[in-house]
Amino acid sequence: MADLSVNICGIESPNPFWLASAPPTNTGAQIVRAFDAGWGGAVWKTLGDPIENVYSRYSSVDMNGQRMMGFSNIELITDRSLEINLIEIAEVKRRYPENVVVVSLMVDSNPDAWDTIIKQVEQAGADAIELNFGCPHGMSERGMGSAVGQVPEYTCDITGWAKESATVPVFVKLTPNITDIRVAARAAKTGGADAVSLINTINSITGVDLDSFTPRPVVGRMSSHGGYSGPAVKPIGLNMVASIAADPFTEGLPISGIGGIATWQDVAEYILLGATTIQVCTAVMHYGYRIVEGMAEGLSNYLDSKGMASVNELRGLSVNKVVDWQDLDVNYIVKAEIDQDKCIHCGLCYIACYDGAHQAIGVEYKDDETKVWIIDDLCVGCNLCSLVCPVQGCIEMVERDHGQTHMSWNDYLSDEKPGELYPRPKHGLTIGPT
């Protein structure tokens, strides 16, 4: 089996699977169960001045039978005393010295407050601290959380204060509620951060009760914006992790990837885009700690199939495959092809292409059956038909060898072109069958 152990900021972890700072890491007893299940590390639920939470505090977005496709919360940091948390941190580290315990922190924006709590959690045995600059609700109204993470100067200054106090590595947890995540990561690195964690949750309202007119979750007769997580946010997390991994200014800055992770495939994607460890919350809240077993087995088998002896060989292999749009090859051509033997004649591809794309699918209704085919001259290879087709493998996107050389958009606009531009389809809207 492949070696799943990783080293991040000098911290050895038995595997890259960590729990994110959230309800699943609220108590020492929970983290003990998680470590017994196979998690390599855990980020303790954010410590600070204990607060009072509200009832209720969670809501979700379901789609096509999938529960909690998106998940929102208005829960704040720990509501348990600092003293109790410190005792439990020490006990967990005593019992599980090989597992990683990172402690998430959030206090007022002054050096003394950070110095005090950092020294307390270090004395309890924390392997690292994570500065929570990402909470988008509740704490941000108090000048903490994303109110810090959205201002690069604050991010840099507070990270600097933490580094002056800490003797263990300092992670900075970044908010996605920002125009360019790279700016925040650069500020964290300038302040001395040893690593960054991302993404925290996204500002959201998941829906509105159409009878009471109150958004969810409902607290009395009111609601509030919350933090969105779950499978729906994974594409945003992947993009932001890749942005930091590819940024020359933050090159080499270790990343702990967060956002919509539930399977070994999700883990592999984050690592391919530059993450060293990953953090999971919503999937554990949905399915429990034992999902890590499938993650470990699946990732190990995948690495074996790729001939990789260690998960570290996978890290970052996809980073240089993400380029700016103008660097893409505009002469690369794919066209859709339909396997008529697999087609169930639902006509969905035709409807999608005709109403939502490039009118490149022909249709014939005969004997209560819908026959479809690709109009090759009009097909622009947009993929929409293959994405909406309910039958796996029925519509494939096939590369065409047209003999043209690679040409980027910048090449196309320059005076010295490397070759000719592949002829584009000339569309003219026609009236389709009734």
Q: Where are the chain's structural domains? A: 6-321, 325-413
Beta strands in 16-169 (DSSP E): 17-19, 41-47, 58-63, 66-73, 100-105, 128-132
8 A C-beta contact, residue 418 and residue 410: no
Nearest in space to 105 (alpha carbons), one of 29, 43, 152: 43
**Beta-carbon contacts of residue 229 (< 8 Å; ≥ 6 apart):** 70, 71, 72, 73, 201, 202, 259, 260, 281, 282
pLDDT in 10s for each residue of the chain, 434 residues: 899 999 999 999 999 999 999 999 999 999 999 999 999 999 999 999 878 888 888 999 998 888 999 999 988 899 999 999 999 999 999 999 999 999 999 998 899 999 999 999 999 999 999 999 988 775 776 776 778 889 999 999 999 999 999 999 999 999 999 999 999 999 999 999 999 999 999 999 999 999 999 999 989 998 898 889 999 999 999 999 999 999 999 999 999 999 999 999 999 999 999 999 999 999 999 999 999 999 999 999 999 999 999 999 999 999 999 999 999 999 999 999 999 999 999 999 999 999 999 999 999 998 888 999 999 999 999 999 999 999 999 999 999 988 889 999 989 888 888 888 888 887 655 555 54
Structure tokens at 199: 């993404």
Output the pLDDT for position 76: 86
The verdict on domain 6-321 having CATH code 3.20.20.70 is yes
DSSP-derived 3-state class of residue 33: helix
Output the pLDDT for position 429: 56
8 A C-beta contact, residue 303 and residue 314: yes
Question: Whole-angstrom Cα distance, residue 39 to residue 29?
Answer: 14
Output the pLDDT for position 138: 59
Strands 128-132 and 170-173 turn out to be parallel
Question: Whole-angstrom Cα distance, residue 405 to residue 422?
Answer: 9
User: 325-413: what fold?
Assistant: Alpha-Beta Plaits (3.30.70)
Residue 283 has a CB neighbour count (10 Å cut-off) of: 22
Catalytic residues: 135
Q: How many helices (H) and strands (E) does the chain have?
A: 13, 18
Which neighbouring-strand residues pair with 92?
A: none
Output the pLDDT for position 402: 84
Output the pLDDT for position 54: 86
8 A C-beta contact, residue 379 and residue 373: no
Question: Whole-angstrom Cα distance, residue 279 to residue 41?
Answer: 9
8 A C-beta contact, residue 250 and residue 186: yes
Which neighbouring-strand residues pair with 71?
A: 60, 229
Output the pLDDT for position 297: 98
8 A C-beta contact, residue 410 and residue 326: yes
Nearest in space to 358 (alpha carbons), one of 287, 301, 279, 425: 425
